[in-house]
Structure 1
Amino acid sequence: MSYATQKLAEEKVFKDPVHRYIHVRDQVIWDLVNSKEFQRLRRIKQLGTSYLVFHGAEHSRFNHSLGVYEIVRRISDDVFHGRPEWDESERLTVLCAALLHDLGHGPFSHSFEKVFNVDHEEFTRAILTGDTEVNGILKKVSPDFPGHVAEVIAKTYSNKQVVSLISSQIDADRMDYLQRDAYYTGVSYGHFDMERILRVMRPLDDQVVIKSSGMHAVEDYIMSRYQMYWQVYFHPVARSAEVILRKILQRAKELSESGYEFQQPPTHFLAFFDRSFSLADYLALDEGVLMTYFQLWINERDPILADLCDRFVNRRLFQYVDFDPGTDYKKLGELSALFKKAGIDPEYYLIDDSTSDLPYDFYRPGEEEERLPIQLLMPNGDIKELSRLSQIVDAISGKRRTDYKLYFPAELLIDGKKKAIKQQILEMLREGGI
């Protein structure tokens, strides 16, 4: 028996709060779960800084990755199994891609990526194809198997059905994180009828389609996603924590480059500051490492780094007001000048931040982040794009919503020093726009 088809002597089962049970029967999958690169995901939170808002949101990328694997396993083994449009030989490829799709996430994910200009998907592919335990396991299937799994994650794999199960507007990744994040944050927005959606999914040609009878379940899924983004993922308080996190890393980088002598040198970050880091350097970082530095840096001599770390560790976050970049940038310049007069560095204590989401889009060839639409399979065999039949989806299709906030430390504006200037700042912040 080849390694690719080797089964465990006894099925392994993970108890899961979202899917009840996650089943592992393949030796390859079990070995990948036990690799050190996959175990590292236990130390990367799924929702980054959101635990500072939703105290239950302590779940990890490890939880989520197992959940995505389980959804894809059900689709492959139950929903698509035996259908002539589905190539059964792709089963192991799609299961491995589902399990490993988030392997390259760094600590606090997107905040870390922004500061150090790295892409977690590139690192996922590097882990799959580099000198890692995961690569060694995948190579036991076949020498070119790691490359195939990497192509699925890069969305360049030849079988588009496989790609769409991992990355599309209705994929296993989204179906797991919406439900999982709703469960751990305690909100009700992310729940939808996944069982119904799975029952009406069909492989067809080079895509996965939904039977038209399941349209309302898909509408519910899209609206759940819309609500989760604005109520959870883009929560302004969580974004305040992200702003502070980014500024901590920015300040540490700036101090290091200026020759500042740290009491606790940023040893694990030095290769990232000068972009000489290796894959091993990247994998050595997790959120435990960062939090250790932050706690130690609370006692650094540099007052800005010490203050920012204290704010993040002890949840003393910035306040915020709405900000309109179209009309308020002149005011932002004036505020920045006033902050300097008040002795508050605006580079670290006056930050504008924006976030946006496109809940659903139809096909726009050649545009950035090209999105394949959700296609409905009609009873007569015709294919119709979802928003043509759904008034609900049509109402939000192609409509990007953006939210702008201005973050600042309110308590620094009410102490006794330079009171007149600080009062002027507060009045500007309370006015209309800002």
Structure 2
Amino acid sequence: MGNTNKLKIFNDPIYGFITIPNSLIYDLIQHPYFQRLRRISQMGMSYLVYPGAHHTRFHHALGSMHLMQSAVKTLQFKGVSISKDEENALYIAILLHDIGHGPFSHAMEHSIVENIHHEELSLLFMQKLNNEFNGKLSLAIKIFKGEYHRKFMLQLISSQLDMDRLDYLKRDSFYSGVAEGNINSERLIQMMNVVDDILVIEEKGVYSVEKFLVARRLMYWQTYLHKTSVVAELILTKILQRAKELAQNGIEIVASKPLQYFIQNKISNNQFTDNDLLTFSYLDDFDVMSAIKQWQFHTDKTLATLCKMIINRDLLKIKILNEKPNSNAIKEIKQKLILSENISNKEADYFVLTGKLKNQAYSKKAAPIMILKKNKYLVDVIEASDQLLLKALSKTVTKFYICYPKQLL
């Protein structure tokens, strides 16, 4: 083991060669917790819409770290003091920022585990790794939690213009083929600076920020909130909820040991033990998809039907509406389904779904993207931009949806 070359190079289709900066980063990448990300899809069920969207959280984490390396070099070149320890902590924090994602990324947060955000799980994994690596992740954790005194470092990891967003927009655009999401992340990084401990963009980069925000808005409507992606993820969530309901009523549900554990136990954020975390670390897309392939033949008609929808890509019909659907119309659809399929009202709730989609490219409530003017004044990008469009992008656009079986058309 002592002779292992830990300064490896990854060949990435987006950026070319990505280098591992040191042996600690290499050891973290090699850890089973991180290797699991190779088996967690970046865009959930979006491959049902965009066949190329099969890239993983592993790709994204390495890409984000690469961009962080560029950002650190750029800021150091401009005279921003970043020590070797701080530099390393930034690489670790961005590398591990998504390590808590469950199968198909977001579906688990609403079904198998209850009210646990992936960022909370990422922090639990980081703390566990910190114990294993004798406290070498302590500074990274401090920055990740926003407890470090140099606030711009958190902005590089989590803000309205961070390395996470710069990578996933460019990467998801590439793999999905949605060209509107392609941003110039290199240009944005070259325009970064730090003033009064705030991450800023120099004035000549304002058009790149505008392009970034427009791309973010378009990517949400065209990919992340595409109606087929939305309905597929809803069905996946309902499959897991139904499996859990059946298991807790004593009905046999065949699944891998990790998935079985979360189906049979009610686990929420206030009681997530070390054993829960270890079991979660064994859970990935393959557990869920393998279970769905088996459950399509289950004796429970509701579970079997939902599973066949995913396996055969024969999904529920989804309608996007500008207004909240009429409650009487929903009741009418449910009643039709109950009569035609001879199912209970509770079972009908698995097939007639409603909800809303929100898209806001830029939030006025969150810490703003600040533009450094030539006269050294700092202004919000909305004020610095001559595009009226940016003011519109700061407004939340809400759309509603209703899903139901196609035979009710």
> Normalising by structure 1, what TM-score?
0.85
Query: 352, 355, 376: which one pairs with 2:354?
Result: 352
User: Distance in 2 between the 1:321 and 1:74 partners?
Assistant: 43
Secondary structure, aligned partner of 2:306: helix
Gaps spanning 5+ residues in structure 1: where? 1-7, 365-370, 414-425, 427-434
> Does 2:226 correspond to 1:235?
yes
- Looking at structure 2, the residues matched to 29 and 313 of structure 1 have their Cα atoms a distance apart, in angstroms, of 38
Aligned to 2:50: 54
Whichever residue aligns with residue 123 of structure 1, its letter is: L
2:15 aligned with 1:19? yes
Aligned partners of 1:85 and 1:204 also within 8 Å: no
Question: Quick one: structure 1 residues 347 and 325, their matched pair in 2 at CA, closer, same or farther if it must change by over 3 Å?
Answer: farther
Letter of the 1:205 counterpart: D
Aligned counterparts of 1:293 and 1:318: Cα–Cα separation in 2: 20
3-state SS of the aligned residue for 1:379? coil
2: distance between equivalents of 1:318 and 1:212?
Answer: 47
Q: CA deviation at 1:267?
A: 4.5
Aligned position for 1:93: 89
Does residue 279 of structure 1 match 2:274? no
Query: What does residue range 124-203 of structure 1 map to in structure 2 within 5 Å?
Result: 124-130=122-128, 132=129, 135-137=131-133, 139=134, 143=135, 145-203=136-194
Give the secondary-structure state (helix, strand or coil) at the position aligned to 2:319: strand
SS of 1:349's partner is: coil
Superposed CA deviations along residues 285-336 of structure 1, whole A, max 9, x for unmatched, are 1001111111111121111111111111221111112345545123212322
Q: CA deviation at 1:125?
A: 0.7
SS in 2 for 1:247: helix
1:123 aligns with 2:114: no
Equivalent residue, structure 2, for 1:3: none
Q: Are positions 1:375 and 2:356 aligned together? A: no
Do structure 1's residue 330 and structure 2's residue 321 form an aligned pair? no
Distance in 1 separating the partners of 2:402 and 2:9: 47
Q: Is the 8 A contact 1:86 1:203 kept in 2?
A: no
Distance 1:324 1:128, change over 3 A: same
Worse-matched range after superposition: 266-275 or 336-345: 266-275
Q: Distance in 1 between matches of 2:348 and 2:321?
A: 16
Write out aligned runs for 1:412-423 (5 A): 413=408
Counterpart code for 2:252: E
Q: For 1:380 and 1:169, how far apart are their aligned partners in 2?
A: 24
Alignment partners' CA distance in 2, 1:163 and 1:45: 25
* Greater relative contact order (Cα < 8 A, sep 6+): 2
Q: Give the direction of change, closer, same or farther, for the CA distance of 1:80–1:288 in structure 2 (3 Å limit).
A: same
Cα–Cα, structure 1 residues 292 and 125, in superposed 2: closer, same or farther, change >3 Å?
A: same
How far apart are the structure 1 equivalents of 2:174 and 2:390?
28
Instruction: Flag the 1:97–1:238 CA change in 2: closer, same or farther, 3 A.
Output: same
Contact 2:37–2:56 at 8 Å: present in 1 too?
yes
| Letter aligned with residue 188 of structure 2 | I
Q: Which residue of 2 aligns with 1:113?
A: 109
Identity of aligned residues (%): 33
Paired residue for 2:381, among 381, 386, 391?
386
Per-residue deviation, residues 216-274 of structure 1 (Å, max 9, x unmatched): 11111111111101001101001111111011011101111212234x25743444343
1:222 is matched with 213
Q: Deviations over 1:401-433 (max 9, x none)?
A: 12221111203x3xxxxxxxxxxxx4xxxxxxx
Question: Matched residues in 2 for 1:266 and 1:408: separation?
Answer: 30
CA contact (8 A) 1:322 1:406 kept: yes
1:251 and 2:253 correspond: no
Alignment map for 1:269-348 (pairs within 5 Å): 269-273=259-263, 274-276=265-267, 278-323=276-321, 326=324, 328-342=326-340, 343-344=342-343, 345-348=347-350
Q: Do the aligned residues in 1 keep the contact of 2:46 with 2:229 (CA within 8 Å)?
A: yes
Q: Secondary structure at the match of 1:48?
A: coil
Structure 2 distance, partners of 1:30, 1:84, is: 28
Any idea what SS the aligned residue of 2:288 has?
helix
- Superposed displacement of residue 126, structure 1: 0.6
Give the match for residue 268 of structure 1: 258
Distance 1:383 1:389 in 2: 9
- Residues 136, 402 of structure 1: CA spacing in aligned structure 2 closer, same or farther, 3 A cutoff? same
* Structure 2 Cα separation of the partners of residues 299 and 10 of structure 1: 47
| SS of 1:210 mapped into structure 2 | strand
Q: Note the C-alpha offset of 1:28.
A: 1.1
CA distance in 2, matches of 1:379, 1:242: 46
Match of 2:53, SS state, is: coil
Q: 1:51 to 1:326 in 2, by over 3 A?
A: closer
Alpha-carbon distance in 2 for matches of 1:88, 1:146: 15
8 Å Cα contact 1:388-1:394 kept in structure 2: no
Question: Could you list the per-position Cα deviations for residues 67-120 of structure 1 after superposition, in whole angstroms to 9, with x for gaps in the alignment?
Answer: 0000001111x2012544333241011011111111010001211101132211
How many residues end up aligned between the 2 structures? 390
3-state SS, counterpart of residue 349 of structure 2:
helix
User: Does the 8 Å CA contact 1:387/1:397 hold for their aligned counterparts?
Assistant: no
Higher mean C-alpha deviation, range 154-163 or range 27-36: 154-163
Letter in 1 for 2:278: A
Distance in 2, Cα, partners of 1:241 & 1:179 = 23
* Kept in 1: contact 2:338–2:348 (CA 8 A): yes
- SS of the residue corresponding to residue 18 of structure 1 reads coil
- TM-score norm. by structure 2 comes to 0.90
Greater displacement, 145-154 / 32-41 = 145-154
| Structure 2 CA distance for aligned equivalents of residues 391 and 332 of structure 1 | 44
CA contact (8 A) 1:351 1:407 kept: yes
Residue 326 of structure 2 aligns with an amino acid whose one-letter code is D
Output one character per residue of 1:137-188: Cα deviation in whole Å (capped at 9) or x when no partner: 3x3xxx3x43432233333433211100111111111110011001100110
CA distance in 2, matches of 1:52, 1:154: 35
